Structure 1
Amino acid sequence: MNRITSQNIETFLLQNYGKSIKTASTIELYNAVSRVALGCVADKMYSNSGKKRAGYLSAEYLVGRVIYANLYNMGEIDTVRKILEEKGIDLEKFEEIEDLALGNGGLGRLAACFLDSAATCSIPLDGYGIRYRYGLFKQSLVDGFQTEGADDWQRFGDPWSIRREEDVVEIVFGDQEVKAVPYDMPIIGYGGDMVNTLRLWQSEPKVPFDFIAFNDEKYSDAVKEKNRAEDISRILYPKDDTYEGKKLRLKQQYLFSSASLQDIVRKLKRAGRSPKDIGEYYSLQLNDTHPVVAIPELIRILVEEEELSFSTALKIAEKVFAYTNHTIMPEALEKWDVKLFKAVLPKVYPYVRKINSSLKNQLKKLNIPQEELKKYSIIEDNKIFMARMAIYATHSINGVAQIHTEILKNTALPEWYKIYPQRFNNKTNGITQRRWLALANQELSSLISTKIGEGWITDLSQLKALEKLKGDEEFLHQLREVKQLKKNQLAAYIEKNEGIKIDTSFIFDVQIKRLHEYKRQLLNAFSILDTYYGIKEGRIKDFKPTVYIFGAKAAPGYFRAKGIIKLINEISRLIREDPVVNKFMQVVFISNYNVSYAEKIVPAADISEQISTAGTEASGTGNMKLMLNGALTIGTYDGANVEIVQQAGEENNYIFGARVEDIAEIEASYNPSALIEKNPRLKVVVEALIDGTLRDEGTEMFQELYDSITEGASWHKPDHYYLMLDFIDYCDTRLRANQDFKDPRLIAEKSLMNIANAGSFSSDRTIKQYAEEIWQLGNK
């Protein structure tokens, strides 16, 4: 690998901007360093070893700011820091550059971690997705309400991507034909030995400008097709509560699925291999249901372009594809209206029908009773069930945490597990320690390395050696010092970005994740209100001051989630304006939460809130990041929380609430209103939504939240996520943790035990399991 030097940075700046390192702007310097670094690894991006490769098909890649991770993995971060320091420039200036936020949450961040781990572990894995023109959205808080703006991540350029014009493919829809143009980003493994590729497709028109229409003064018509084509890859998850919105989403999914398959088939042919042997050379992982349309598309390509029989093509698809399920919630398992699907993808729909017919024939051979066929059917009630197609036409279905996989097998998909038990398997999610410890918390990683060496950077299980330091007073003191330093740094960052001052002697209690009802930010808010009233009433005494930090975005059309954001900000105002309580409590909702913000918050957190309703969070990865950095989990027995407490010990965390089996037992008779009437603490916090204590500025948001709990709303039954059921146990568990924080040594020991037992949550472990147990990668 070539090295980065001061000279080649200077040369790039001179040739492109006519400037030197000292005179270049931050953006120009960022572009120069990035392009020079890319030049050092570009040759490795396209060196195919001849081994069987895997492809990761995902609608999301929540990459974050790439420059630091890439320089770190290349072993060049200290070199670049020194080059810049000699010119009086701080490497941290690059924090001004926007995140690459082509994802919504854990699904997209997991994809990014997997790519990093695969390259580090010498696993040939390429990512495929969409190069959205704008990221998710830029969130602002105005009077406590979320407002959205365009996340124009490309406005400073995109120096880490290479446009590959020679690999353009055509995509045909029922009403439109477009070009899919690939942009390749390097995925650099730690040490720089392996460089895989993330190929993102951008939708562009076949004819970008209608000259005749323009000359006829039809100016809008002249660029109509350009705009229509570019709309397809303009934003992640366009609003889909209308026909046109659903149509656009389906086009997005087909764009990157079809383009990726066409690309792979073409590569096989260029290498002198037959597409019918694609299963010998590629394994393709479907990250949730978004890319499942790839199944009938591959079959279509093999039948129509390679002249294989349908039955042969179906067998090939089954060998090629594997499916990761990320949710058990029915509303998140995609279904497409048949009429819409046929209109958008008329050439693909016949193959969906053939797959469905093949399934029915197989079910008959398995003697499945006629009355049970409906729950398997891929096409039913004028809808296409994508998860069912994924289960039938792949060779592997994996859950992403032990409890999630058991729920899939026993509760969510038991009929499928009954006929295909060998296909179901678990791959507990993971995170890359290089991003989430080595880079995000350099002080802690340095301390760890002085005690056990640097082997943990590529083998996180080595953290287990830290357990022997549990009684080491000096080390425990150093752990506390690092945590305090990270809290100070976060407080300074929040003051700079939000204009809010935080007392760093407070406990930092953190809930950072996508805003969704099942993640129960509302339960957190109610609990904070309970503590507020408890302190005012004198019921809660000797309370250790706490700042509650939230970071979350609500989908633009998700009214109830937006109401929760407003509620949290109203509770913040209530506490801030109360001189009796504001000495003990503070609530901070940070704006525009993203990967870079997470890199500041995660190392500073004392408490990690993982409070989803048992049985709803497939895994979670934020819980792993916070654990790795020494935060203590307050959580339900849900997702990867189960494995976290198995590894680190329940005594070193705080578990509360109903479990899956408890909820199943009371589900039919559950009456949240009776619980509210019976418990004064519950009643006062819920009534605060409508009694004037909290203000929603006439939007009726708080009334709607109240109704969703007491009466049910939209498709919800009352208190669909059992906030009232878990409320008292949650509040009391939080108070127990609060009292424990009065003993700094005890907390340092608990923190150490979490760090030392985080080894199994490395995405290196997870991706090796995918490679060995699902993809069966080997020399070809």
Structure 2
Amino acid sequence: MPSDTSHNPRTGMDVDAFREDIHQHLHYTLAKDKFSSTEWDHYRSVVMAVMDRLHDRWINTQQSYYAQKSKRVYYLSMEYLIGRLMDNMLINLGVQDVVAEAIEDLGLDYDKVREAEADAGLGNGGLGRLAACFLDSMATLGVPALGYGIRYDYGIFDQDIENGWQVEKPDMWLQYGYPWSVVRPKKKYRVRFYGEATAHEDSNGRLHFDWVNTHNVTALAYDTPIPGYQNDVVNHLRLWKATSDEGFDLKSFNQGDYIDAVRNNLLEENISRVLYPNDKVFKGQELRLKQEYFLVSASLQDAMVRFKKQFSDLSKIPEQMAIQCNDTHPNLAIPELMRVLMDEEGLEWIPAWEITTKTINYTNHTLMPEALEKWPLSLMSNLLPRHTQIIREIDRRFLNTIEVSGDRSANSKKNDMRIISNEMESRVRMGHLGIVGAKKVNGVSKLHSSLMKKTIFSDFSDHFPQKFTNVTNGITPRRWLRQCNRELSELISDNIGSDWVTNLEQLQQLEKFAGDEEFQEQFKEIKLRNKQQLAGYIKKTMGVQVDPHSIFDIQIKRIHEYKRQLMAIMHAIALYNRLKKNPNADVAPRTLLFAGKAAPGYTMAKLHIKLINSVAEVINNDPDVAPKLKVLFLPDYSVSLAEKMIPAANLSEQISTAGMEASGTGNMKFALNGALTIGTLDGANIEIREQVGNENIFIFGHTVDEIKEVRNSGYHPQEIYEEDEELKKVVDQIHEGYFTPETPDLFHPITNALLSQGDYFMVLADFRQYIDKQKEVEENYRNSFDWNKKAILNVAKMGHFSSDRSIRDYCERIWDIDIE
């Protein structure tokens, strides 16, 4: 390992070495000088200088895993929302200040260099951000892990707002390349599709299956290093890019038909062309299924090559591999590993099944049946004929194990549990496949894991009680405090030391400072400066002035009906009406900020964005309320925008319908940065309340059991609407076009969903409790000492929600890996 005191420009960790290396890369690698270079050139030069330091550590880490025959974790995920990497890399290497000084010595601006980096477009939201946090924690804890994903050419779309509507534009995050990745030209694998499965007997009468006449695509590896926090460990994220398996059709090309010659190549490359926008509703497109198998096939081939370099006994696979499927998307790993073990390695079914079910694990992320993947059997049979055979056999053998007791018929129970549904158009239920084929199945919060066993998978929980466990999600404190809120992290370190960065439980020591006036004053000033920085960003990008002394009330997440952005904007309308009625009312000024993307095909979510912007247009231009209320929708939500908004928040909106948010991680990020939560008893909000205490969180709304009771007894939203005068006025204003007089019926789909279609997400049921709790928020905010005490206690109590703790739980409960 290179010495930190070395002045070698490629390995030295001091200012002189970095300055020289950055300069040399600009000159010799990029052929630029101070007259011709751009911000992008400066950024690339810095990245290459950092990569120089990572390479030794990266190689040494991988060699040590090999030498120690370490058990590997293979994390399979369709999404990784890693954001920008420069700050993260420098912090984990321990050289952020050193590199900042070197950059300034070269006459450059550190912030401008950092801003030149594009957010990597590899994920939609919480699922992908969780995977990114887990990568950071696995490296920091020294877990021998490798993340597998797809290198999408176009990530989640860029979001513009035009006339209040979301407009999607391509996210061309790779248009200038991605200097954090290294292409591995020799790491490529053939991925097969279509064709047919044939059978033949050998001389011993054993049946062999061959998958023939396939259409082939090549998966090419691109690796991005993932350094642990100041521990010299570097794991990596391996992303697969689809390329043509066969090159040009030379016959067509020689006949002058260039388009035909390249057409098939382009179709094959489409597999990794674009990330599917996730709207929590499963849609069975063939290309998506191709992507899922592409990820699984390439990753398992790669894992098997690594295994077979050191071992010949296939029964050792569970001792050497733990494969984690992040949601149902990679669950094809189960039939794929069976196919590899039987068709390519010659194992019989029973030993192959034993290996598979001791190696693969499945994380469930949703209780919503419409979000669970159910692939048409006809589509699966056409695209993956051999896997369909294997899934049929898994299903057949599993059904033979089901026993029935009580009043329920055997057919009823088997139909509910079978992997291939028994209906007119049979479907492969990927959640069921994951449970039957996995060693462990975990939910992502205590409530979610409990509901998973009681509701959608209750039969499976009875059948496989030992399979189900919980691992509550977490966030990495490196990015979500140390990086995004540097002043607060320094205040914390000045008072309790810096061990909290890798042991978040250390934050408990802050409890004794919660009522300390000097600490409180520093804490309050840091929050104000963060709010001023966000206000400056809003002024620069949107031309709107907001008051940093107002309550910054923030809801940032995917736009979805169950997350209830609608309820938050209805509260804003209620506040507006109160101020219109009494402009001189003594209220605490409030700035309500929204950000998030709606899936392009999710019409209602996009209509909610339009409503938020229409309400904002009226409120922000009304002089009667101007000093006291502002509403803004910040476009193009991303990890980088979250890093600006979360440290500035006073109030964190976590108001999903109880039972519908599996966990949430935004709730953890806000609390860690000193925002108080207003929320329902949903997802990880319940565990946050357990940690911070009921007096330091604003909980409202119907619980899961109460919602079930209300629905069973007959829910009548129209009655709530008629009986609550303030609520009725809000709904009427939306319905009658108060905010869109030019198209008065524009928002009828929203009001119809509330009043005549059953208010499925219980907005009206929870509205009165919500705005009463918001009044309590305002009263608390006016007492600065009490508010800041609560905020500091929230920071102090967030230790449980470190992704380091999550990964320790995975190692102990699921992966069977010992870490120090």
Shorter chain as denominator, the TM-score bin is over 0.9
2:233 and 2:389 map into 1 onto residues whose CA distance is: 41
Question: Could you list the per-position Cα deviations for residues 671-729 of structure 1 after superposition, in whole angstroms to 9, with x for gaps in the alignment?
Answer: 112211222222221222221202296596511112222232xxxxx211100100011
Find the counterpart in structure 2 of residue 3 from structure 1.
12
Q: Does the 8 A contact of 1:567 with 1:696 survive in 2?
A: no
Aligned ranges 1:415-454 → 2 under 5 Å = 415-454=459-498
1:35 and 1:693 map into 2 onto residues whose CA distance is: 55
Find the counterpart in structure 2 of residue 736 from structure 1.
776
The partner residue of 1:205 within 227, 244, 254 is 244
Is 1:130 aligned to residue 141 of structure 2?
A: no
The partner residue of 2:164 within 123, 141, 144 is 144
Question: Could you list the per-position Cα deviations for residues 649-687 of structure 1 after superposition, in whole angstroms to 9, with x for gaps in the alignment?
Answer: 111111000001100111130111221122222222122
| Counterpart residue identity of residue 522, structure 1 | L
Aligned ranges 1:260-299 → 2 under 5 Å = 260-299=299-338
Secondary structure (helix, strand or coil) at the match of 1:62 reads coil
- Structure 2 CA distance for partners of 1:540 and 1:377, relative to 1, 3 Å: farther
The partner residue of 1:395 within 436, 439, 450 is 439
2:587 and 2:249 map into 1 onto residues whose CA distance is: 69
- Where structure 1 has 5 or more consecutive residues not aligned to the other structure, the ranges are 713-717
1:406 and 1:778 map into 2 onto residues whose CA distance is: 27
Is 1:677 aligned to residue 722 of structure 2?
A: yes
- Structure 2 CA distance for partners of 1:721 and 1:70, relative to 1, 3 Å: same
Deviates more, 1:523-532 or 1:564-573: 523-532
Q: Does the 8 A contact of 1:487 with 1:605 survive in 2?
A: yes
Secondary structure (helix, strand or coil) at the match of 1:54 reads strand
| Counterpart residue identity of residue 581, structure 1 | V
Find the counterpart in structure 1 of residue 711 from structure 2.
667
CA positional deviation for 1:230: 1.4
Q: Does the 8 A contact of 2:124 with 2:278 survive in 1?
A: no
Counting aligned pairs with the same residue, the percent is: 42
Secondary structure (helix, strand or coil) at the match of 2:552 reads strand
Secondary structure (helix, strand or coil) at the match of 1:557 reads coil
Secondary structure (helix, strand or coil) at the match of 1:64 reads coil
2:311 and 2:282 map into 1 onto residues whose CA distance is: 43
1:492 and 1:244 map into 2 onto residues whose CA distance is: 40
Find the counterpart in structure 2 of residue 24 from structure 1.
37
Q: Does the 8 A contact of 1:31 with 1:157 survive in 2?
A: no
Q: Does the 8 A contact of 1:75 with 1:192 survive in 2?
A: no
1:79 and 1:20 map into 2 onto residues whose CA distance is: 23
CA positional deviation for 1:517: 0.8
Question: Could you list the per-position Cα deviations for residues 460-486 of structure 1 after superposition, in whole angstroms to 9, with x for gaps in the alignment?
Answer: 000000101122110011110000000
Find the counterpart in structure 1 of residue 7 from structure 2.
none
1:397 and 1:540 map into 2 onto residues whose CA distance is: 56
Q: Does the 8 A contact of 1:52 with 1:778 survive in 2?
A: no
Find the counterpart in structure 1 of residue 763 from structure 2.
723
Question: Could you list the per-position Cα deviations for residues 485-525 of structure 1 after superposition, in whole angstroms to 9, with x for gaps in the alignment?
Answer: 00001111122222222111111000001111110001111
CA positional deviation for 1:235: 1.0
The partner residue of 2:596 within 552, 562, 572 is 552
1:471 and 1:242 map into 2 onto residues whose CA distance is: 46
The partner residue of 2:514 within 470, 477, 483 is 470
- Structure 2 CA distance for partners of 1:119 and 1:532, relative to 1, 3 Å: same
Q: Does the 8 A contact of 1:551 with 1:589 survive in 2?
A: yes
Secondary structure (helix, strand or coil) at the match of 1:720 reads coil
2:470 and 2:281 map into 1 onto residues whose CA distance is: 36
CA RMSD of aligned residues (A): 2.0
- Structure 2 CA distance for partners of 1:720 and 1:242, relative to 1, 3 Å: closer
- Structure 2 CA distance for partners of 1:637 and 1:246, relative to 1, 3 Å: same
The partner residue of 2:410 within 343, 363, 369 is 369
Q: Does the 8 A contact of 2:445 with 2:471 survive in 1?
A: yes
- Structure 2 CA distance for partners of 1:179 and 1:333, relative to 1, 3 Å: same
Find the counterpart in structure 2 of residue 82 from structure 1.
101
- Structure 2 CA distance for partners of 1:502 and 1:244, relative to 1, 3 Å: closer
Find the counterpart in structure 2 of residue 715 from structure 1.
none
Is 1:56 aligned to residue 96 of structure 2?
A: no
The partner residue of 2:648 within 591, 604, 609 is 604
TM-score w.r.t. structure 1 length?
Answer: 0.96
Find the counterpart in structure 2 of residue 223 from structure 1.
262
Find the counterpart in structure 2 of residue 164 from structure 1.
184
Q: Does the 8 A contact of 1:185 with 1:198 survive in 2?
A: yes
- Structure 2 CA distance for partners of 1:366 and 1:680, relative to 1, 3 Å: closer
Q: Does the 8 A contact of 2:124 with 2:277 survive in 1?
A: no
Residues paired across the two proteins, number: 774
2:148 and 2:809 map into 1 onto residues whose CA distance is: 20
- Where structure 2 has 5 or more consecutive residues not aligned to the other structure, the ranges are 3-10, 196-214
Q: Does the 8 A contact of 2:737 with 2:745 survive in 1?
A: no
The partner residue of 2:751 within 700, 706, 711 is 706
1:471 and 1:427 map into 2 onto residues whose CA distance is: 33
TM-score w.r.t. structure 2 length?
Answer: 0.92
The partner residue of 2:680 within 621, 633, 636 is 636
1:298 and 1:646 map into 2 onto residues whose CA distance is: 41
CA positional deviation for 1:264: 0.7
- Structure 2 CA distance for partners of 1:387 and 1:241, relative to 1, 3 Å: closer
Question: Could you list the per-position Cα deviations for residues 429-484 of structure 1 after superposition, in whole angstroms to 9, with x for gaps in the alignment?
Answer: 00000101001000000001110000101100000001011221100111100000
Deviates more, 1:43-52 or 1:316-325: 43-52
- Structure 2 CA distance for partners of 1:575 and 1:240, relative to 1, 3 Å: closer
Find the counterpart in structure 2 of residue 65 from structure 1.
84
2:563 and 2:266 map into 1 onto residues whose CA distance is: 37
Secondary structure (helix, strand or coil) at the match of 2:402 reads helix
- Structure 2 CA distance for partners of 1:708 and 1:649, relative to 1, 3 Å: same
| Counterpart residue identity of residue 594, structure 1 | S
1:243 and 1:497 map into 2 onto residues whose CA distance is: 35
